[in-house]
Amino acid sequence: MNILLDSAKVDFITSANEYYPIDGITTNPTILAKEKRPYIEILQEIVSIIGSEKMLHVQVLSTNAKEIVKEAEYVSQILNGNIYIKIPVVPEGFKAMMTLQKLNIKVTATAVFTPQQALMAAKAGASFVAPYVNRIDNISGDGVKVVADIVKIFDTYHIKTQVLAASFKNVEQVQKVCLAGTHGVTVSEDVFINLYHHPLTEWSVNTFIEDWESVYGKGAILGEV
């Protein structure tokens, strides 16, 4: 089960990578543009933070297969890391995926809204497919069910492509896709924080400390060596 951050905020990525067991980073043109810095500089800095083993997913902008392949080759060459090229599931995208598979460049099929799009992307050579859970919900669909259906199709036909569920507004959606068998999730900063934070955990820790200090005074257990 992979947990990735959907972010290009270097400070946040640095902190999250230090404190929590994240598996990588996903970006898209919107996320990178918000940082108002040279995008290659940001991506290189992210690789330097997470290392060469954790995943970095980078999305192309071109809508023509030939240009998509050129972008993918450029990004893969300039970034020395575990790079996945994000390609939308449009006709030119499928064509590019098949070419990139032959070039051994790893692909994440993105902007997935249906199980059949996911299946086509898997057959085209995608390593991951990224269904947009909350965006599906916003058009009166069922994002969690779409994830569950993709997982079932892949399991039924022994397809190695993994599901990287994306687009969440809350932790409940993350919990449900985990139960549905997704292989990974990519989440925003707000959702990520709520994966591990709970006010009763902080209350419990504070209570333990208060109870200890009421008898033994301030200081850690190691103070009584």
pLDDT above 60: residue 145: yes
Confidence (pLDDT) at 27: 98
For residues 79 and 56, the answer to whether their CB atoms sit within 8 Å is yes
Confidence (pLDDT) at 225: 45
Q: Which residues are catalytically annotated?
A: 86
pTM of the model: 0.94
Torsion angle in degrees (nearest 10) through CA of 154, 157, 161, 162: 30
pLDDT above 70: residue 25: yes
CATH 3.20.20.70 for domain 2-197, yes or no, is yes
The DSSP output letter for 38 is -
Q: pLDDT, tens digit, for every residue of 126-138?
A: 999 999 999 999 9
The arithmetic mean of pLDDT across residues 117-143, rounded, is: 98
Confidence (pLDDT) at 223: 59
- Beta-carbon contacts of 80 under 8 Å, excluding residues fewer than 6 positions away, are 47, 52
User: Alpha helices, DSSP H only, in the chain?
Assistant: 10-19, 29-34, 39-50, 65-78, 91-102, 115-124, 133-138, 143-156, 171-179, 189-196, 199-216
Q: pLDDT, tens digit, for every residue of 178-218?
A: 999 999 999 999 999 999 999 999 999 999 999 999 998 88
Domain ranges (residues) in the chain: 2-197
Confidence (pLDDT) at 222: 74
pLDDT band with cut points at 50, 70 and 90 for residue 176: very high
Give per-residue burial for 81-100: e unless 16+ CB within 10 Å, then b: bbbbbbbbbeebbbbbbebb
pLDDT above 90: residue 67: yes
pLDDT above 60: residue 224: no
Confidence (pLDDT) at 110: 98
Of 92, 87, 139, the closest CA to residue 113 belongs to: 139
For residues 135 and 167, the answer to whether their CB atoms sit within 8 Å is yes
For residues 180 and 151, the answer to whether their CB atoms sit within 8 Å is yes
SS3 103: coil
Q: How many CA atoms lie within 13 A of 33 on its CB side?
A: 5
